[in-house]
């Protein structure tokens, strides 16, 4: 099993202004930035699987294990224990969206086996934090919760009970997923230790960078929510406590530079043919923060609370509208903010011309003064 990075899906490849480094923070020992892009050595261990679950755009993946396939095959089986000992390489490959969707889609409670993780490790803290966030979000509209367990005796009993009645073989698909220790060994054997991987941004990758793609984990969550019961009342959760989705507003410092809605990787931010508005679909937002990182006046901002209502009644919101007029000088469309009907570029050119003209007059009078 090896780690893959689709560099075209990384928001750092979309803009040099991106400050995303969730993968690096998740696994600082294995991942690093080179030329502003994340990379890793060929002998990277399975601990790096945490980047698979944390990356907002699903740029990281593992060979021989698909989180999307796992989601469906796990639910089909009777097993309700997710354990690195028998059905997943590492729990950290699952994102918060996966965890919420699994809990919602399962009629029985799901347990997560954390018994083999060092409770002092960064990896354990990350998995624990993801489970906690998933349960926190779930608790705002559902009675379902995930159970994390470190008690090996309970887990052993649970596994034995389930093994006798489950279709484990079918949901695993292949027999290679037999525990993290074996995975780490095969992982390390399968790849050559050595240089860092290099990601060249060739024509194909640049074409893919421009595509808008919604990660599978978001499609899974979206579909699962459609089948979940609608709560009687909708809560609003603090923005800081929800890491995978956001709601936004745009203040009046926005210059309609067009960058945020052109660059948004998922199509959550869009405009119309005249570029006279900014639309936003929260359910398509993966909170990669790229729109914030590229916005020079800091005009696009996070709403203080995330409204759970969005999960059940998603709607596109118009964050800003602009008065588009044709420039009286060059004829191009521009965002009119009052005053002369001249676009910013023509204004700058006019200012430069006036500056050069006044400079020429001062030089002339200086020279005339010297001569007399």
Q: With binding defined as CB under 6 A, does residue 27 bind ligand SF4?
A: no
Nearer to ligand SF4, 116 or 205 (CB): 205
For residue 145, give the H/E element and its range: none
Q: Restricting to residues 37-56, which ones interact with ligand SF4 according to CB under 6 A?
A: 38, 55-56
Q: With binding defined as CB under 6 A, does residue 259 bind ligand SF4?
A: yes
DSSP state at residue 159: H
Task: Please give the Cα distance from 285 to 295 (Å, whole number).
Answer: 16
CB under 6 A: which stretch of 6-14, 93-101, 166-174, 201-209 binds ligand SF4?
A: 6-14
Q: Which residue pairs, CB below 8 angstroms and at least 24 apart, start in 349-353?
A: none
Nearer to ligand SF4, 140 or 279 (CB): 279
Choice from 39, 50, 57, 87 touching ligand SF4 (CB under 6 A): 57
Choice from 1, 3, 8, 10 touching ligand SF4 (CB under 6 A): 10
Q: Where are the alpha helices (DSSP H) in the chain?
A: 11-14, 22-26, 50-54, 67-76, 96-105, 122-139, 152-165, 168-172, 180-190, 203-210, 216-226, 259-263, 290-294, 309-312, 344-371
Q: Restricting to residues 266-285, which ones interact with ligand SF4 according to CB under 6 A?
A: 266, 268-269, 285
Q: With binding defined as CB under 6 A, does residue 88 bind ligand SF4?
A: no
Interface with ligand SF4: number of residues (CB under 6 A): 38
Q: With binding defined as CB under 6 A, does residue 140 bind ligand SF4?
A: no
Q: With binding defined as CB under 6 A, does residue 93 bind ligand SF4?
A: no
Question: Residue 224 contacts by C-beta under 8 Å, 6 or more apart in sequence?
Answer: 100, 101, 104, 105
Nearer to ligand SF4, 13 or 79 (CB): 13
Q: With binding defined as CB under 6 A, does residue 85 bind ligand SF4?
A: no
Minimum distance from residue 284 beta carbon to ligand SF4 (Å): 7
Q: With binding defined as CB under 6 A, does residue 289 bind ligand SF4?
A: yes
| Phi, psi angles (nearest 5°) of residue 155 | -65, -40
Cβ burial 332-359 (10 Å sphere, 16+ → b, else e): eebbbeeeeebbeebeeeeeeeeeeeee
Task: Please give the Cα distance from 114 to 193 (Å, whole number).
Answer: 29
Q: With binding defined as CB under 6 A, does residue 105 bind ligand SF4?
A: no
Task: Please give the Cα distance from 164 to 94 (Å, whole number).
Answer: 26
Nearer to ligand SF4, 99 or 263 (CB): 263
Choice from 260, 327, 343, 346 touching ligand SF4 (CB under 6 A): 260
């Amino acid at each position: 099993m090896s780690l893959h990075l689709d560099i075209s899906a990384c928001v750092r490849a979309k803009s040099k202004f991106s400050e995303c480094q969730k993968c690096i923070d998740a696994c600082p020992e294995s991942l690093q930035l080179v030329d502003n892009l994340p990379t890793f050595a060929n002998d990277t261990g399975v601990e790096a699987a945490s980047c698979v679950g944390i990356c907002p755009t699903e740029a990281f993946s593992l060979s021989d294990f698909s989180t999307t396939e796992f989601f469906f095959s796990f639910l089909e089986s009777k097993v309700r224990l997710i354990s690195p000992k028998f059905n997943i390489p590492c729990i950290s490959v699952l994102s918060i969206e996966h965890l919420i969707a699994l809990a919602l889609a399962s009629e029985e409670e799901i347990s997560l086996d954390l018994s083999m993780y060092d409770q002092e490790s960064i990896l354990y803290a990350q998995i624990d934090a993801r489970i906690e966030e998933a349960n926190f979000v779930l608790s705002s509209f559902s009675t379902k919760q995930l159970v994390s367990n470190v008690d090996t005796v309970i887990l052993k009993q649970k596994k034995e009970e389930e093994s006798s009645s489950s279709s484990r073989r079918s949901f695993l698909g292949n027999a290679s997923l037999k525990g993290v220790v074996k995975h780490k060994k095969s992982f390390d054997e399968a790849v050559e230790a050595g240089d860092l991987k290099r990601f060249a941004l060739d024509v194909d990758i640049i074409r893919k960078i421009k595509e808008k793609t919604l990660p599978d984990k978001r499609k899974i969550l979206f579909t699962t929510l459609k089948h979940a019961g609608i709560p009687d009342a909708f809560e609003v959760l603090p923005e800081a406590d929800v890491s995978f989705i956001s709601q936004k507003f745009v203040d009046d410092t926005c210059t309609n530079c067009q960058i945020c809605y052109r660059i948004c990787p998922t199509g959550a931010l869009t405009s119309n043919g005249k570029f006279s508005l900014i639309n936003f679909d929260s359910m398509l937002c993966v909170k990669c923060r790229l729109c914030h990182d590229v916005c020079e006046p800091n005009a696009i901002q996070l709403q203080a609370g995330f409204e759970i209502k969005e999960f059940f009644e998603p709607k596109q919101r118009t964050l800003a509208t602009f008065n588009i007029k044709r420039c009286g000088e060059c004829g191009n469309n521009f965002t009119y903010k009052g005053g002369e009907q001249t676009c910013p570029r023509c204004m700058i050119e006019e200012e430069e011309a006036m500056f050069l003209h006044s400079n020429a007059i001062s030089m002339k009078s200086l020279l005339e003064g010297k001569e007399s």
